[in-house]
């Protein structure tokens, strides 16, 4: 184990090279629906239990299945209404289980990125060959079912090894959603030296963190999203920032919750200088235009 993940150097949010988003937008805004499949009786990982109760833990399982049966269509209607294309954090086994959902997302030109194969298969304990094979399996599944080259990664259930980022970059990925250290895209060091970056994917704005971990009220969730946006929109006058709202249809789409999110989305998309986009488009724009300047500035500030 290491004291520091070795993925990035300290880079103060102060006098950085200015980022300009397309159309002069101040905020690159993206919504990342997690479309997940949790198994009722998954293979056992010695490092993490899948469910608190003995199998079948129908509470945990049913909670997640609600998202696919009920929540997905509700969330999709709201995103459609405000012209938001989702960037899907996908349990890629869902391509086999629920292809109808994949088709609906394809019709809308949503982005698919990898969230592993199942959200009940954890990376802990995998050796390098095993993790590579899991990463490649998931990316190939996306290619096969959607035609898209997978660009981004959110590790399944946020379980990692020390080499996760390098393995994903070697497999052709360009961005990770697993790091929560910044409000702008930042270079991530991988052993192969690929131009690989972190695109901010906020845990603070994540509905599961808000509802299931922090246990907040739905209307407050809407207020938090708006406050987060207001401050970033203000700061974005100086240099472009990123705002992400990660969603789970099994949380946000409950009948007592969806309206609060919808109102927040209406608020954000009602502002003129917002680039409503996807994770891949943000990553590509940053890599093409700012990656080299960012690395130079990080090096200069470390010196």
Partner 1 sequence: MPLDPGYFDYPHRSYGMDHDFYDWSMLADRKPVEWPGNARVALWINVALQYFPLNQEGQPFPPVAGMTTSYPDLRHYTLREYGNRVGIFRLLKAFDRYGVIPTFAVNTRLAERYPYLMNKICVRGDEVICHGWDMDTPHYGGIDAGEEAKLVKKSLRGLREITGQPVEGWIGPSKSQSMETPQLLVKNGVKYMCDWINDDMPYPFRTDAGPIIAMPLSTELEDRFIMHHNLHSETEYAEQMIDAFDFLYKEAAEQGGRMLALSVHPWMLGQPHRIGKFEQVLEHITGHDGVWSAGAGEIAAAWAKQQD
* Chain residues that interact with partner 1, rule: CB under 8 A: 37, 39-41, 43, 45-46, 52-56, 58-59, 61-66, 68-70, 72-74, 93, 96-101, 117-118, 121, 125-127, 129-130, 133-134, 215-219, 254-260
SS3 at position 135: helix
- Element (DSSP H or E) covering residue 82: none
SS3 at position 195: coil
Rounded to the nearest 5 degrees, what angle is found at the Cα of 15, between the Cα atoms of 12 and 17? Answer: 105
- Closest contact distance (angstroms) between CB of 171 and partner 1 is 16
- Closest contact distance (angstroms) between CB of 203 and partner 1 is 19
- Closest contact distance (angstroms) between CB of 18 and partner 1 is 42
SS3 at position 108: coil
Residue among 54 and 83 whose Cβ is closer to partner 1? 54
- Closest contact distance (angstroms) between CB of 276 and partner 1 is 24
Residue among 218 and 240 whose Cβ is closer to partner 1? 218
CA gap 101, 142 in Å, rounded: 13
Residue among 17 and 56 whose Cβ is closer to partner 1? 56
Residue among 62 and 172 whose Cβ is closer to partner 1? 62
Inter-residue contact 216 to 261 (CB < 8 Å): no
- Closest contact distance (angstroms) between CB of 162 and partner 1 is 15
Residue among 29 and 261 whose Cβ is closer to partner 1? 261
What value does the CA radius of gyration of the chain take, rounded to a whole number of Å?
19
Q: Locate the DSSP E strands across the chain.
A: 27-35, 87-90, 111-114, 152-153, 175-176, 186-187, 197-198, 241-248, 274-276
């Amino acid at each position: 184990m290491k004291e520091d993940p070795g993925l990035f150097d300290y880079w103060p949010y102060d006098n950085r090279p200015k980022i300009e988003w397309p159309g002069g937008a101040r905020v690159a805004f993206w919504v990342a629906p997690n479309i997940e499949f949790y198994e009722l009786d998954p293979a056992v990982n010695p490092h993490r239990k899948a469910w608190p109760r003995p199998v079948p833990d129908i509470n945990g399982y049913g909670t997640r299945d609600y998202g696919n049966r009920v929540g997905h269509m509700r969330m999709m209607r709201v995103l459609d209404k405000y012209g938001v294309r989702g960037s899907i954090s996908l349990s890629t086994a869902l391509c086999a289980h629920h292809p109808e959902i994949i088709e609906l997302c394809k019709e809308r030109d949503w982005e698919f990125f990898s969230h592993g194969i199942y959200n009940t298969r954890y990376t802990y304990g995998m050796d390098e060959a095993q993790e590579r094979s899991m990463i490649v399996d998931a990316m190939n599944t996306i290619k096969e079912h959607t035609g898209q080259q997978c660009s981004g990664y959110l590790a399944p259930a946020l379980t990692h090894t020390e080499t996760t980022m390098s393995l994903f970059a070697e497999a052709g990925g360009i961005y990770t959603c697993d790091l929560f250290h910044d409000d702008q895209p930042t270079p991530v060091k991988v052993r192969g030296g690929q131009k690989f970056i972190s695109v901010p994917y906020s845990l603070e704005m994540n509905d599961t963190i808000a509802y299931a971990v922090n246990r907040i009220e739905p209307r407050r969730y809407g207020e938090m999203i708006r406050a987060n946006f207001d401050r970033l929109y203000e700061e974005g006058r100086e240099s472009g920032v990123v705002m992400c709202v990660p969603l789970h249809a099994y949380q946000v789409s409950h009948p007592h919750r969806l309206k609060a999110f919808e109102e927040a989305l209406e608020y954000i998309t009602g502002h003129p200088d917002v680039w409503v986009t996807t994770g891949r488009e943000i990553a590509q724009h940053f890599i093409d235009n700012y990656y080299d300047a960012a690395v130079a500035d990080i090096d200069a500030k470390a010196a």
